[in-house]
Amino acid sequence: MKSTIISIAFLSLLLFTCQNQNQSEKQTPAKEKSDTVYNAALIAKGKSIAQASFKSMSGKLMKAMKEGGVSNALKYCNLEAMPITDSLSKAYNVTIKRTALKLRNPSNKANTEEFNLLHQFKSDIEMGKKVKPIIMKSGPHSNTFFAPITLKAPCMVCHGDISDDTKSLIAEHYPKDKAIGFKVGDLRGMWSIKFEDKK
Ligand code: HEC
């Protein structure tokens, strides 16, 4: 029963994600900084990679949750989140990173540019503004796609007001976890996907 509820929750999460993506495609770019290159093709490429990565991660997470509840899913994320992003990076020939201000895994730490953007996304969301992906030039031959990651209801078991049991399970793998206490709609983090120009 519990696993059915969880799988329904995850399925609706996938639907929500698709809806959000469709909505953001209709938006037009806001004024960008002078070093920002707005490029519709790169935005589309970044979105499709972020969406594929999200689908791969949440599909596997849902399976782990179904098979062994939150504790199994947590173990799964701990072992597999990085290898999944690494193998997708290789498959797409890009560098995929998930980062955040309040981190669970310290290896996902933001660099200065990501840190500033995360603050920008966070304050925009808090002011009720719509946030959307952007492309920035990250070197003479590379661009980086950044997209906010907001929280949906099914994320709450591991990132919201979590139970004491979940808290201690998380502490086993992430003793310095800061990624709890969020509410639905809050900014959880950001995709940062770097593309090198084709030679
Ligand atoms: C079963 C528990 C669980 C659920 C449900 C869950 N997460 Fe996480 N999340 C984790 C774990 C564990 C990590 C650390 C993964 C690692 O080691 O890289 C993590 C890491 C992250 C990160 C990377 C940044 C960081 O702090 O290390 C983001 C972003 C994130 N989660 C967003 C989400 C979103 C959005 C959802 C809902 C769609 C979600 N998570 C659902 C357990 C969960």
8 within domain boundaries: yes
Tell me which residue has its CA closest to atom 35 in ligand 1: 151
- Number of C-beta neighbours around residue 3 at 10 A: 13
Distance from the alpha carbon of residue 31 to the mean position of ligand 1, in angstroms:
31
Sequence letter at residue 68: G
Distance CA 153, CA 9 (A): 8
Q: Is residue 73 in some structural domain?
A: yes
Q: For ligand 1, is residue 74 a contact (CB within 6 Å)?
A: yes
Query: Are the C-beta atoms of 112 and 120 separated by less than 8 Å?
Result: no
pLDDT bucket at 78, cuts 50 / 70 / 90: confident
| Nearest atom, ligand 1, residue 70 CA | 1
Comparing 80 with 47, the larger pLDDT belongs to 47
Averaged confidence pLDDT in the chain: 84
Answer yes or no: are the C-beta atoms of 73 and 64 closer than 8 Å: yes
Q: Count CB neighbours of 44 within 10 A.
A: 13
Number of domains in the chain: 1
- Cα separation, 80 vs 65, whole angstroms: 14
Structure tokens given for 98:
């998930």
Q: What is the pLDDT of residues 111-138, one digit of tens each?
A: 999 999 999 999 999 999 999 999 999 8
- CA of 141 relative to ligand 1 center, distance in Å: 31
- pLDDT band, residue 39 (cuts 50/70/90): confident
Rounded to the nearest whole angstrom, what is the distance from the C-alpha of residue 57 to the centroid of ligand 1?
A: 9
At 41-61, the pLDDT tens digits run 899 999 999 999 999 999 999
Phi/psi region, residue 98 (left: phi>0; alpha: psi -120 to 50; beta: rest), is: beta
In a domain, 40, yes or no: yes
Q: Measure the CA–CA gap between 182 and 177, rounded to whole angstroms.
A: 13
Between 73 and 36, residue with greater pLDDT:
73
Closest atom of ligand 1 relative to the 17 alpha carbon: 38
Residue 27: inside a domain, yes or no? no
Q: What is the CA(160)–ligand 1 centre distance, in A?
A: 11
Residue 26 lies in a domain: no
d(CA 173, CA 77): 10
191 CA to centre of ligand 1 in angstroms: 12
Does the pLDDT value for residue 31 go beyond 60? no
Q: Is the CB of 103 under 6 A from ligand 1?
A: yes
Predicted confidence at residue 199, as pLDDT, reads: 56
Q: Is residue 109 part of a domain?
A: yes
Domain membership of residue 153 (yes or no) is: yes
- Per-residue pLDDT averaged across 93-112, rounded? 97
Query: For residue 99, which atom of ligand 1 is closest to its CA?
Result: 24
Q: Which range among 11-15, 35-39, 84-88 shows the weakest confidence by mean pLDDT?
A: 11-15
Lowest mean pLDDT among 13-22, 89-98, 110-119, 152-161: 13-22
Q: How far is CA 174 from the centre of its chain?
A: 18
What pLDDT score was predicted for residue 77? 87
For residues 87 and 6, the model is more confident at 87
The pLDDT assigned to 166 comes to 93
> In Å, what is the CA distance from 65 to each residue of 133, 167, 169?
29, 16, 14
Q: Say whether pLDDT at 154 is over 80.
A: yes
Nearest-atom index, ligand 1, CA of 173: 12
For ligand 1, atom 38, name the residue with the nearest CA: 155
- Nearest alpha carbon to residue 162 among 61, 74, 86: 74
Boundaries of domain holding 50 = 2-19+34-196
Residue 54 lies in a domain: yes
Residue carrying the six token digits 């940062």 = 192
- Dist CA 176 CA 127 (whole Å): 29
| Ligand 1 and 6: CB distance under 6 A | no
